[in-house]
Structure 1
Amino acid sequence: MADGEGDLNDELTVKLLHFQEITHTEDLEECKKILIEHNWDIEEAVQAKFNEGINQPPPPMVNIPRTLTHYRPPPPQLIYANHGGGGSILGWAMSVLVSPIHFTFSTIFSLFRFVWRIFNPDPREMVTDPRGDVLTFVDEFEAKYENSPQMFRGSYGEAQAESKKNLQFMLVYLHDPHNKDSDPFCSGTLCNNNVVEYINTNMLFWGCSIQKPEGYKVSKLIRYPTYPLVAVVCLYQNQLAIVGRVQGRVTAEELLSRLREIVDLYEPVLVSARADREALNQNQQIRAEQDEAYLLSLEKDKQKMDKKKREKEIAENEERRKEKIKQEKELSRQAQLDMKLKCKEDICEEPSDDDDVISLLIKFPCGKRINRRFHKTVSVKVLHDYVYAQDEAPARYQIFTSFPRAPIVGCSTDEVVSTQSHPLIQDAGLNRNDTVFVQNMGEDSSSDDDDR
């Protein structure tokens, strides 16, 4: 057992490994520390682990009822070996007599091979194209043997990843082309209809020759292998491990029986892992939905704040516009008062009636009428300023002749303000005892009743 598990009982060890599988945390000490902080409550510890690194408080989580599956762990590995040979007394006696010679020969051969490999490394140690090794073997195997199980076309690492992803059993077949039992095992046992159906239904099947670097690498993971060899791999104690193997030449019925026994024994491990993953997926889905709802709520709040901000800006702009108009009107009114006061101060004494004087009847928009005499030689500005000095005069106006009705050039408020040179009254087409009309040209003007 790992160092991080040394002082734990079986129940706490199961919880520790269970937490590690859910959170994918490699450091057992870190897992143990988190569980201790949460009093070995796996659900609280998982929530705390997933909430790490989040700056803003997340929305409240929904409690998901989930119970830890307790089961009695099966043994680390089941090994079924068929070494061949008979079970008679003669066979047993021959085995006893030959065993010392076999041991001596094996020891000498192992030493010789060790020394030889120092100077001549095994080319199978150099794995350069693991996928290519497997694809070559699969093509050769399917070409040679009909009705073969469906093999995974990828490296051993890729097959492990696929098995762990789908939480399924993986069956590994290591092929030794130099073993005399390999060919009959493949044709008679591995390609048996019942065996093929069982493998394709319940397992991910991976195979390779031990004469290829990828197959040789996998064979070194197995202690004391004998061939033909099939091994069952599944998730065990939070990692993929070889949980059973069948070695030597066996019949299809024997292989099926032993595979079923291994699967039945370790199926609860995968069932528990699938339940944990399903609970985790539900938890993550609920969390994702909560996060989405939370972000949507934040977005709505932001939109409301933006809307209020825009409305406030519009109201402030409108208020500033009204205030500006008010100030402009106030300045205009003050300017009009100043101009009216000046016009009153500048009014000349009315001349007496003679040939150089004309008498005009001035009609105002309000209906008021004034008779006034003016020298013919003064400018029309004098006529305009006299009218402007009257309290009934509009702020802006134009003076018209009565017949034909026409504006008197230079005798409007706009022209008086903007022009320095103005025509004389005698040049404006006015005659003695004429009538002139004052027409309001301001914003609040209305149609004049010329007959008023």
Structure 2
Amino acid sequence: MNDVELTNEETEKVLQFQELTGIEDINVCRDILIRHHWSLEIAFAEREKLNSGMPSMYASSTDTRAPAVINDRFLQHIFVSNNRNNNSNNNGGSGGIFGIFSYVVNSLINWCYSTLSTFIQTLFSVFTERDRIVTNPLEDVTSFIQNYNSKYPVHPVFYQGTYAQALNDAKRELKFLLVYLHSETSSPTVMSGQERITETINFCRNTLSNPDVIEYINNHMILWGCDISSPEGYRVSHSISARTGHYPVLVMIALRDNKMTIMGRMEGDCTAEELLVRMRRVVSDNERWLNAARHERLERSFNQTLRAQQDVAYEESLRADREKERKRREEREEIERIEKEIREAEEANDRRRDLKERLKMELVQEVPSEPSEKTIDAISIVFKLPNGMRITRRFLKNNTLNDIHNFLFCHPNAPDNFVISQNFPKRILECGKVILDEYSGYESVSEVIENLRKTIVSQTITEAGLQNREVLFVSDLDA
């Protein structure tokens, strides 16, 4: 875990996963957790599935087609049965130069024979392949595992899925896939004690049941097996060119340069020790490809995480900028709204002041003329204004209280919004009152006067009980 710095939480999950699974390589634990988006529960569940031979949930639902497999013999370790080598040695005569010459000639003959037979079988399969259409590959695999369990109960865990699912799981999990092709009829015979049995039976009884072999295969690779007599086994044997007629055949496949590649091929019987040596050699010589793939995945995951964090930070910054811009816009709109209200209020006040001036010019004409001192029906009233000024004015007794109001409303020293009160007795006189705040200022003077007349109480001065030399107080309602 030195290439990429992990957080404390991620490091703790890696250690927990290593403790749960017992995987020695901590980088493998980290890689598994990364593939499962750091979900400890899902990664452990998937690991348990593969350990029990069950396909992963991804393989079960999506992997219906097998990825292409590179079958280049120059990239493979090829191992053949010791029995075949021994027979060649026994029939070949002496060693030395003649032995080497015989080995080269036999190898050349075997290669020519293998190539020719492969070509003939391929050509023949074009016309016979229709008879081996795979209808249910999973049923072929499960049937093989059941039959194998009944004959050879001790063995490594077989992958309980199709060849396509096994390939995809091995590619996804970056593990070696060990393909075992089984055939008890297409196999040479050997002596086992006093019994002559086929190499396949001997291999299953003594090699594949060995505890060290079982432990190594279960810990380091996925084992997929099938009988070549079934449609699925036959199809796979053709796809990996395992048509040697010398069974059992084991093929080791793993990821190399982003392509599933056959890295090892073992044909015929061998001892458990030989099988372990062969598998370890293939693993050691090709592990670097899986390590490179793990490193590439780690870098890709790190870059994706970094981009995701940068996207989150960018979105957060963008959200903060949007929030600031929204607040600035709201503040600007609020200032504009207040300024607009102030401007509209000032304009309305200007209109009402203009309306008031026009109204005073109209109402002043309706104020009755002041009678002379000698007029018998005249009374003198003293108005005390809020600013302390006293105004004396004579009215006729049959003049109305509204005439008094209009007089004061049009007087330059009187307030615009006022009430008239009397101290003895203490009361407020009911007279007309102009409330300009009720108007927008667009109304005409005649409209305002018409509304004013609807509220006037046409009470005369005499009816109001006012006598000569009355003192009336004018109170400013806006003060």
Q: TM-score normalised to the size of structure 2?
A: 0.67
CA distance in 1, matches of 2:211, 2:472: 123
The one of 376, 383, 393 aligned to 1:372? 393
Q: What amino acid is aligned across from residue 237 of structure 2 in structure 1?
A: S
The question of whether the paired residues in 2 share the 8 Å contact of 1:398 and 1:413 is answered with no
Letter in 1 for 2:227: S
CA distance in structure 1 between the partners assigned to 2:122 and 2:73 by the alignment: 38
Q: d(CA) in 2 for partners of 1:117 and 1:335?
A: 107
Conserved 8 A contact 2:433-2:452 = no
Deviation sequence 1:121-152 (CA, Å, 0-9, x none): 6643x223333332333344345433321222
2:216 aligned partner, one-letter code: Y
Mapping 1:71-150, distance limit 5 Å: 75-82=74-81, 84=83, 87=87, 118=127, 123-124=131-132, 126-150=133-157
The residue that corresponds to 1:423 in the other structure is 458
Give 1:265's aligned amino acid: D
1:68 matched to which residue of 2? none
- Of the candidates 182, 189, 193, which is equivalent to residue 200 of structure 2? 182
> Does structure 1 residue 247 correspond to structure 2 residue 267?
yes
Whether 2:286 is the aligned partner of 1:266: answer: yes
Q: Write the deviation string for residues 353-381 of structure 1: whole angstroms up to 9, x where unpaired.
A: 55533332212122222222211222222
**Contact 1:74/1:266 (<8 A) preserved:** no
Find the aligned partners of 2:126 and 2:368 in 1 and give their Cα distance. 134
Cα distance change, pair 112–77 in 1 and its aligned pair in 2 (3 A): closer
Cα deviation, residue 291, structure 1: 2.7
Residue number in structure 2 paired with 1:392: 413
What are structure 2's unaligned runs of at least 5 residues?
A: 1-71, 94-108, 187-197, 437-447
Compute the displacement of 1:115 (Å). 8.0
Stretches of structure 1 lacking an aligned partner (at least 5 in a row): 1-72, 94-99, 446-452
Residues 404 and 111 (structure 1 numbering): CA distance in 2 closer, same or farther, change over 3 Å?
Answer: same
Once the 2 structures are TM-superposed, how far is the Cα of residue 75 of structure 1 from its aligned partner? 4.1
**What RMSD, in angstroms, separates the aligned Cα atoms of the two structures?**
3.4
Counterpart-to-counterpart distance in 2, 1:349 and 1:114:
135
Q: Which residue is equivalent to 2:225?
A: 207
> 1:204 aligns to what SS in structure 2?
strand
Matched to 1:394, the amino acid is P
Aligned counterparts of 2:236 and 2:316: Cα–Cα separation in 1: 51
Shift of 1:111: 8.6
- Rate the CA distance shift 1:271–1:301 in 2: closer, same or farther, 3 A: same
- Asked if 1:360 corresponds to 2:381, the answer is yes
3-state SS of the aligned residue for 2:372?
A: coil
What is the rounded CA distance, in whole Å, between the counterparts of 1:122 and 1:177 in structure 2?
24
The answer to whether the 8 A contact 1:127-1:213 is kept is yes
Q: Secondary structure at the match of 2:323?
A: helix
CA distance in 2, matches of 1:111, 1:372: 139
The residue matched to 1:214 in structure 2 has which SS?
helix
Instruction: Please state whether the residue corresponding to 1:371 is helix, strand or coil.
Output: strand
Is the 1:244–1:262 contact (alpha carbons within 8 Å) kept by the matching residues of 2? yes
Q: State the SS of the aligned residue for 2:264.
A: strand
Maintained 8 Å contact 1:400/1:406: yes
**Could you say which structure has the greater relative contact order, defined with CA pairs below 8 angstroms and 6 or more residues apart?**
2
Deviations 1:160-180 (A, max 9, x none): 112112222111111224343
Aligned residue among 157, 160, 168 for 1:153: 160
In the TM superposition, what is the alpha-carbon distance from 1:302 to its structure 2 partner?
A: 2.3
Between the aligned partners of 1:270 and 1:137, the Cα distance in structure 2 is 30
Aligned match of 1:432? 468
- Asked if residue 281 in structure 1 is aligned to residue 301 in structure 2, the reply is yes
Show CA shifts across 1:68-119 (max 9, x none).
Answer: xxxxx994111111173653887569xxxxxx9xx99xx99x999988995x
From 183, 186, 192, the counterpart of 2:210: 192
Letter in 1 for 2:428: P
Please give the per-residue CA displacement for 1:285-339, whole angstroms capped at 9, x wherever unaligned. Answer: 2233223322322222222222222221111111111100111111122222223
Tell me whether 1:173 sits opposite 2:193 in the alignment: no
